[in-house]
Each structure stands twice: as structure tokens, then as C-alpha cells.
Chain A
Amino acid sequence: MTGTQGAQGIDGADGTQGTQDVDSADRTDGTGAGERRRAVLERLAELAAEHERAIAGGGPKYVRRHRERGKLLARERIELLVDEDSPFLELSALAAWGSDYPVGASMVTGIGVIEGTECVITANDPTVRGGASNPWTLRKALRANEIARVNRLPLVSLVESGGADLPSQKEIFIPGGALFRDLTRLSAEGVPTVAVVFGNSTAGGAYIPGMSDHVIMVEGRSKVFLGGPPLVRMATGEESDDESLGGADMHARVSGLADYFAADEQDALRTARRVVARLSWRKAGPAPRACPAPPRYDEDGLLDIVPADLREPFDPREVIVRIADDSQFDEFKPLYGPSLVTGWAQVHGYPVGVLANAQGVLFSAESQKAAQFIQLANQRDIPLLFLHNTTGYMVGREYEQGGIIKHGAMMINAVANSRVPHISLLLGASYGAGHYGMCGRAFDPRFLFAWPTAKSAVMGAAQLAGVLSIVARQSAAARGLPYDEEADGALRAAVEAQIEAESLPLFLSGRLYDDGVIDPRDTRTVLGICLSAVHSAPVEGARGGFGVFRM
């Protein structure tokens, strides 16, 4: 096989299946491997530190106060809720990073297994400003709801929130209605919703249990009412107390809002597990193949692949052989449009079609190849995995005249209208329209994760600064003004630094542009959990239904 970098395709020894063993180049003694590893490990340490900040919640003082009330932390509640020794994929862990709000956005969300059923779990972190929702909390919760809806995963909400963070109400109040809309729409679509109320869930928050299918409240702890005693007195003059307005006992015996009356937090979590067990939830997608073989290459090698300088290309097959079952990858059209690798593989027993950038740039051939491959996956109901390392579609006279816009549009048309589940993983660069063509965030991949080595922006920071400089220079020239070269240098540097910072995974993850930044060595596990999750819903490709392909 030609046209590949550092990897050779060799027909499988048995030959009968036509599968290919893809040999991995030994990168451990190759040039720059140590450097790459060092760079990734440094960023992973940085990532771990940010995760620690999210775990620390409201800090030692508020954690202590919370515990002194005999309450469990948000993550402790989740740990007791999910099955022993089962995996838990936390989502949007870095939400609000780089904002004025604490990292994690006072909420924990993720996919976990409860009584054998994969669920989306959300939990308010009451140690952060009483679990109050800020604009990032809202976006994080809405993203979790979306994952529950599109993948048909039961949603379990562990509620304890003082409601909206009032100073930022302008950014929460109006869009926040979507939280309640989502719950009832999930219910309408037959996706079960369970609310466990551990504490405050008042005013607008009262609709979380109000809109859920199953509600569990904790004796002496849950507080669910539209208006508390002061508000009631202001409104009607009635004297009242928390317990009679919204206690668990009242809701279990009088209002009927609570279906289950738990003695304490543990009892509530035990009850929630029983409720989920009795959902008798069946996944709608096909089951994975049994006993998939692990990759033949060590996951550890995933740290040696992406160069610190993204201008240097790398072979995505090195990644594929480390995440695919038995390292088997059957390449599609290997000789045509070689800058985009396409092919079939299996991850944790689930078939996937893989699209991976090999040379960064997407040309017309690559775009057409992608459009064809995506249509094939839709005909076969096979989920797609996009491995990003693209600088975008090729520019230049030759390429414009060759119809690069038409061909890029074909690829984006195919991606946008494809109906099989998409999972995107940003390995390296994800710039320009290439980000769109490779199923960027706006194209609603079911899941999108980034490696710490990834960068995403409209274009590279240096290019963007350069473009700005050229435009400024042209503008000056047009007006016949002299160009201030010194100021230009400073501007370029400032713009480059800003764009670089805003292209980095922590920043993008903080803005919920991905579902999390992951350790490259966890890639196969994360993909396995995501593939299993997407198979909770039916996996059906588009039969036709694409936009007009401009030929």
C-alpha cells in the first residue's frame, strides 16, 4: 500500500476476511517521540489540576459545612448511585473554565450504569454557592439533557440547588425554561426521567421534580416549593414554614409530588437504583459483538503520536491501531484522496466508520471520498468516528477553479444530513471549514472529545494574525497612508497570543464546545462508553435525505 506515512497495510495472514493488519511504526525510538510524550504529559498534568479544582467544588470550608450536615457530596452521591466497579464518564468537567464562575459550573454530569442500565446522571454541587445555577450550569445541564434525548438514555437528576444565581439571572432566566421543556419532552418521547431531591429545589427548581417521571424525596431534607415562607407572606400574608410548604413528608402524603419517601440520602439512592431497575429499560440499538479482542498495540503509545508543533503531520493510523479491536482496520479508497483516511473498524465490539485527517489539508478528492464514505455508512447503519487533524480546505487558484467549494460543500452536506451517530475526537488541529466537514460541534456529533494536544479556531493563530496584518496593510495602502510596522508587530503578537489561548482545549471545553478533554490513553474506553450510549437509541442511517449534491 502506498501513500501512507509510517504505516503499511498488509493483508491479514488468513486473508479470508480481507482484513488488514496495520503495522504500527515504532515511534518510541523515532525522532521526537520523547518530546511529544513530554509535551502531552505536561498538558495532562495541567488537565488533572483543573479537574482537581472542579472536584474541590466550593472549597474545604463549604465541603466541611456540607458534610457536617450529614450530607454527601455530589460525586459521592453519584458513586453510590452507579453500579459498583462500573465505569463513569464525566462530561463537561471543565465547564466555566476561563469564566468568572468556578470550574465545573457547580454541577456534575456524566454517563453511568445504574442496575445495569446506562443513564445520564446530573448532580448539583451544593458546596458551590448552594448549588445555584449560573449561565454555565445551565449550558452544562442542557447538554446533559441533549445527550439523554438523542441517545435515549434515562436521565437521573440528583437535585440540590438554591435556584438561579440571581446576579446573572439575565443570562439564565429566559433560556433556562429549556430545562423544564427538556424534561417533559424526554418524558413524552418515552425516555425515563428520575429526580432525587436531596435539598432545596425551589421556585423554578421545583419544576425539576415537577416535570420528572419518578420523584424521590428525603425526609427532613427535601424542600420543594414555588415560594418559601417569606415570599408567601409577601404575596398573601399567610404564615407558613418550609416543611408544610415543601417537605418530603408533605409531598409524599399530601401533595403527591413525591413518589418515594426516603429516610435519608442513602435510602434515596438505594430507592433510585430500584426505580431504574424497574424501568426495564432496553437499548434500541444492536448489541456489540461479544468478546472483542483488544488492540495489539499498547495504548501507552498514543502519547507519542501528536507532535507538539501541529504543523508537523502525523499518521492517524497510529491512533486507529491503538483503539480498534484487534488493531484491525479496513481502509476504504486508500489510494484516492490520501490526505483523508477512511475505513472500517470495530471498537469494543461496535462497528465504526472512521474518517481521519492524514495530511491536514482537505482537497477535492478527499471531500468527495468523505461524502461517499458517509453515504455508505448511512446505508449500512454504521456509526462514524471523526479523528480531527485538519487545517481546512485547500485554498489557491488551482483549487478554487477545481471546485473545492463544491466538493467541500458535498462533504458538509453529507456530514450535516447523515443520520448515523457521529463521534468526533479532536487529536490535533481542527481549523476552518475543516472543523465543520469533520463534524464539528455545530454539526451535533453525539459526542465530541478533545485530546490535550488539540487546537481549534477559524484558522491557526499565526495565520489569523498574518491575515489581519495583510488586510490592515492593504487598507493603509489604499488610503495612501504609511504603515506602522512597529505597531503591526505588536498587534500581530497580541492577536496571535489571544487566538492561540482561545484555540486551546481547556478554553474550548470551558465553553462547552466539547464534552471533555481526555487522556489519549483513555480514548478506547471513552469511545466504548460513547458507542454503547449511542446504541441506546436506534442506529439508523439516512436513506436518501441528503441535500442536493452540487456536482
Chain B
Amino acid sequence: MIGTVLVANRGEIARRVMRICREMGIGTVAVYSGADADAPHVREADSAVRLPGDAPADSYLRGDAIVAAALAAGADAVHPGYGFLSENAEFAAAVLAAGLVWIGPPPRVVAAMGSKTRAKRLMAQAGVPVLDGTGAAAPLLVKASAGGGGRGMRIVRELADLEAQLAAARAEAQAAFGDGEVFVEPYVEDGRHVEVQILADVHGTVWTLGTRDCSVQRRHQKVIEETPAPGLRDLTERQLLEYADAAARAVGYVGAGTVEFLVGADGSAYFLEMNTRLQVEHPVTELVTGLDLVREQIRIAEGRRLPERPPVPHGHAVEARLYAEDPAHEWRPGTGVLHRFALPAGPGLRVDSGVADGSVIGVHYDAMLAKVAAYADTREEALRLLAYALRRAVLHGPVTNRDLLVRVLGDPRFVAGGVPTSYLEGLPPAPAPDGGALRLAALAAALADAAGRHPAGGWRNVPSQPQVKRFRAADGGEYEARYRLTRDGLAADDHPRVALVSSAPDRVVLDVGGVRREFAVARYGEAVFVDSAAGAVALTAVPRFPPPVGRTAPGSLLAPMPGTVVRVAGVAVGDRVTAGQPLLWLEAMKMEHRVTAPADGTLTALHAEPGWQVEVGAVLAVVSAAAAESAQA
């Protein structure tokens, strides 16, 4: 019986493991880095132990510190979550050696599956088809044996390039994983990523819990996952489950794990790798089976027996990973304060998040804000529900991939099912934003701002012009709201059919051509978020006045006061000088004054030597500006 679990992780997975611990009557211990001191997973744990640093290497990857934390806090088991140390056999062994329960497969299994080359050999022996690179024709895929998350992976289209690519991949793998082993396998064009969830107890029962399709990926990172994998032939599906079962039995698997396959356009399946841990995307399986996989992991770790047959999955579940990243700019991670984070709740919706209102999204960790999953009887309905939840999500903070997710969920190619892993690369660029919607959002933002400023709403007895507020949209386009609020109501330029129903600093109701539309408006400094049924719009308020410009001060080459020249910089007449470059120093009234070049240009005269006494206004130097006009001094 486990009494207290230390969760060796952070973010949503730490919260999710602790939630089920509470439901099972098990105490919880969190570990945290300096950067996570105020994170929700720390607040929600019964007790928490600070790890040494901020960076993962100093904190969540410090196995020794985590084992010590477990012992110090009185935990009797460790759950690794996913990522970090979850597939580190040495850590698993260290946990066991400390007399603690390891909620995961035995270290030897973890080690065996940790090397992709070794794993492939084992699987081939067990009769699971693998991609064999020896003697294969291009295209080929070079992979790091110790790799993960797509790092060190490269496609070789010409055999002539192979040696060079292998060398490069080895170097990259050595640098990234401390293991330079790489291998080659045929590259399957238009392949899909399909995986099978397995659950195995110590008594020899192995469950396969259906297929998951995770083909929507960016840079080999999964973005949208669903179960069951759509549009698989019966035969393929049956084979996948059989191979997964065989794989699990071949290595004597215990606990929750995932066998990943590459499925070609012809339906042929090849073993890719086995993940000896809980997957990020496990909630979709839980939604269709009604199981809680973490609960099962704990029960298995306690030596309990799985029922003979797994539950029969029902319906369809799809999950989207909501990242603080900008798909339009190379998936650049967004950082900053997540002021508000709220998603619609309701039957069929599940949100696993590691953040809360006010969380700071930093640079140290993965930028995933939450996993949002929807469940329904059919795939179509689940996709609709998920798209709705994402559209209505209130996300006030760094830029996210929300719009991309919504776009994919509505893309006919994706809706048809069975897209390959290259799908996102081929997704057409985001359509131009709807100018009308943005203009309306800008107007709502302006009216909310006005409502917060003055009850008289820009009243004029002699009206001559509208109030003007400008906002910049995410694409850089500027939208100007020009409006007057009179006793006859709203008069807004370019919005002849819009009337104001009510306005408050956080809520504006407009009548748009006879249709009542409500806009929730939130402002954090210059950042303005307008959420409505039509979608979420992030705007930046353009300051009323351009920021004050710094001006170089012509004339600073005059002696500012009487004094003595102390030093002259190593410059001579004819030298090029740049604006702000110090030319000489004067001492006066016990203070040293610096005389700097007023502009970029050429030093054309220098009337100063150390020790010279100068009067106020004396010409010390002349810089002729680059643009031929002389800054006479």
C-alpha cells in the first residue's frame, strides 16, 4: 500500500497525478525549482521540496536530490510523470534502491527500450515489423538512438549525402544526448504516427487500449492526438494491437506504456519505439475507456491485478496541446504573464493544465499551457466540441497556437481523417485576419476603455471631431476606432449599423445590424484582449503620443563652462567619429565633463590639448556631419 507519492515533475502532469492521488487517499509531495515556487502544482501538494536551481538540469533532472526529497518528506513512492527522468533507468533504480516504490516499469525494461537500436532488435526478434535501413534505397531517415522529440533526426533523399548526414547526426546526438549512436531506416513518405496504449500488471496480464493517432506534429512534436486512429483498415488496427501486445510481452512489460508505430499509406505498420511511461496524450484513451491510467499505474505498482479483459472503448476523443508559441513566427515560444486562463467546462470536455490566472510563462520549460480534450460519440462531434472550447478559451497572455489548432480542427483534410505526419508543413498559411471582425473588436476595446475613463464619454457642447483610439492587431495591422457618444447614442466612423447597447470597462454590448453581440474586454497595460462568440482578438493599444524621441544635442562641442582640458580621446583631425563618442574631458568645479561628438561624421578641427584653460563657449572641436552639413562648434 502506497501512503504518499512524490511526483517528480511539474506542470499539468504533476497536478494530474496529485489529483488522482487525492481521490485514492494518497498523500502528495511536490518538488519544484526556483522558477516554479508559485506554480499551481506546488500549491496543490500536501508538502513540497525545493530543488537546487531554476534550469531543469539543476532541478527536475537531479535524481539524487529528488530521492533525497522523497525520503525527507516521508514519501514511499515516486511517480515520474513524463519527460524529465521518466525514462531514466538509473533514476528508477535509485528510487528502488532507496526503498521506495517506483511507479513505472522495471529499470531493465526502461533501459532496454531507451536505446532505439536495441529496442528495434528486440522487437524484430519478437516478430514485430521494424524498418531496416541496411541496403535500403533513399529516402532514408537518420535517427539518434538515444534521441527523442525529433532531435537529431534528418531525412536523406540522395544516398550520396548519407555519409555526411550520418557524421552530422552523430555529432549532434553526441552533443544533445551524450551518446553518438545513430541509425538509419527507410523514410516512409506520407507515414502516419499511430500508437497503442498498453497496461500490464506484474501477474502477466497485458491490456492493449486501442490506437491513438498523433500525426499532427510540428517539428516532430505532437500537437493534436485522437483515439481511435481514424480511417485505419480493420486489418491494420488488429495488427497494431497484436504487435503492441507482443512487444509488451517480449520485454516483460509492467505498468503503463505506449508502443509507437509508423503506418504507411498502404496500411503497413512498423515499430518505431516504445515509451516506458505515461504519454502526454493519455487522456484521450481515458475518455473512451473510462479508465484512469494513473490510478492503474499506482494499483499495478502496489502489485494489484488487472481484470482479465480491458474495458471496451466507446466513442471518440481528441486532444489538442495548447502551447504558448507563435506558429506564424517559427513556433517561437511566448513568455510573460498569463493574466487570465479559462476554458469552457462541460460534459465531454477535459482540461489538464499546469497554469492558472497570473502564472508566469518562463523560458525554462516546455511552453505547453494545457491539454484540452473533447469526447463525443463520433469523431465529427468531438472535433466540433474541441474547436468550440478552444475558440471560447479566455487566454490573456503570451501568444498561443490556439488559432492554428482551431484551423486544423476545421480543415477538411484533417476532418477527412488519416493525415500524415507531414500534414502541418503542408497546411496553407493562415488566412488574412477578418478585417471587419478586427475593426469591431477595436471599437469594442475603445468603448470599454472609454467607459472606464469618464462617465461623460467625451461630451462636447461644440462637437468638432470624434474620439480616436488606435489598436494594433497581432499581424501588425492598425485599427482606428473613431467614435462619438451622444444623447442619440454611438456614432462610430465606418460602423454605420452599429449601436451601443451598454458599455463597462470589461464588457461592451453592441447591436450590429440588429444582432446583439457581447464583447468581454480585458486590458493589461497596453495589451487588450477582446473575447466574443466571434472569436478572441488580441490587440495592443497604440499610445496616444509617439514616445519621446532622443535627440542628439548639437552644440555640445562648445565648452559647457570654463575649465581645464584634462584629456583628449585618441582622435585626430580627419578621423571618423560616431555620435556620442567622447572626444575630450574638461575639469571644472572639481567635476569632470565629457564632450561628445554630436553626430556621425568627420573630426575637422580640434582646439584642445591637455592642460588648456578654456572659456565658456570656446570652440573645442568641429565635427562635420556625414551628410556634409557641418556641426560647427
Contact = CB atoms under 8 A, between A and B. Distances in A.
Contacts of A526: 461
A26 interface: no
A93 B462 CA distance: 8
Contacts of B458: 84-87
Contact of B467 (A76, A84, A519): A84
Interface stretch (A28-36, A261-269, A357-365, A384-392): A261-269
B449 interface: yes
Contacts of A164: none
Nearest to B543: A270
> Which interface residue of B450, B460, B487, B555 has the most chain A CB atoms within 10 A?
B460
B465 A75 contact: yes
Contacts of B461: 89-90, 93, 516, 518-519, 522, 526
Contact of B465 (A54, A76, A87, A299): A76
B619 to A, nearest CB: 16
Interface stretch (B74-82, B122-130, B403-411, B545-553): B545-553
A83 B462 contact: no
A525 B455 CA distance: 11
B549 A263 contact: yes
A103 to B, nearest CB: 11
B471 to A, nearest CB: 13
B465 A84 contact: no
Interface in B440-456: 449-450, 453-454, 456
Given A87-B456, A299-B487, A525-B459, A80 B464 contact: no
Contact of A263 (B462, B467, B551): B551
A55 interface: yes
B487 to A, nearest CB: 6
Query: Which secondary structure dominates where chain B touches chain A?
Result: loop
- Max chain A Cβ within 10 angstroms of own Cβ: one of B450, B456, B464, B469: B464
Contacts of B464: 55, 75, 79
A423 to B, nearest CB: 15
A253 interface: yes
B449 A84 contact: yes
Nearest to B548: A267
B580 interface: no
A270 B487 CA distance: 30
A525 B546 CA distance: 32
Interface in A227-267: 253, 263, 266-267
B453 A83 contact: yes
A54 B460 CA distance: 14
B544 interface: yes
A521 interface: yes
B417 to A, nearest CB: 52
Contacts of B460: 87-88, 90
A525 B456 CA distance: 8
Contacts of A299: 487
Interface in A286-304: 299-300
Contacts of B469: 84
B544 A85 contact: no
A84 B458 CA distance: 7
A15 B546 CA distance: 57
Most interface-central of A76, A79, A93, A516 (chain B CB within 10 A): A79
A85 B453 contact: yes
Contact of B548 (A76, A270, A518, A521): A270
Interface residues of A, number: 33
Contacts of A113: 454
B544 A80 contact: yes
Which of B453, B461, B465, B469 has the most A CB atoms < 10 Å from its CB?
A: B461
A72 to B, nearest CB: 11
Contact of B454 (A55, A87, A253, A521): A87
A525 B545 CA distance: 29
A87 B463 CA distance: 11
A228 B330 CA distance: 61
Contacts of A300: 487
A80 B458 CA distance: 12
A543 interface: no
A550 interface: no
A85 B484 CA distance: 9
B549 A267 contact: yes
Contacts of A87: 454, 456, 458-460
Given A90-B462, A266-B546, A267-B548, A85 B457 contact: yes
Given A299-B487, A522-B461, A85 B467 contact: yes
B558 to A, nearest CB: 10
Contacts of A267: 545-546, 548-549
Contact of A85 (B450, B549, B551): B450
A519 B463 CA distance: 12
Interface in B464-492: 464-465, 467, 469, 487
A84 B454 CA distance: 8
Interface string A36-78: 0000000000000001001100000000000000000001100
Given A75-B464, A90-B462, 11 more contacts: A83-B454, A84-B544, A85-B456, A87-B459, A89-B461, A263-B548, A267-B546, A270-B545, A270-B548, A519-B461, A525-B459
18 contacts: A54-B462, A80-B545, A84-B467, A85-B449, A85-B450, A85-B453, A85-B456, A86-B453, A86-B456, A87-B454, A89-B461, A90-B460, A90-B462, A93-B461, A266-B545, A267-B546, A270-B545, A528-B456
Q: Which 9 A-B residue pairings sit nearest by Cβ, starting from the closest? A: A87-B456, A87-B459, A270-B545, A90-B462, A85-B453, A85-B450, A75-B464, A85-B458, A55-B464
Interface of B: 449-450, 453-454, 456-462, 464-465, 467, 469, 487, 544-546, 548-549, 551, 555
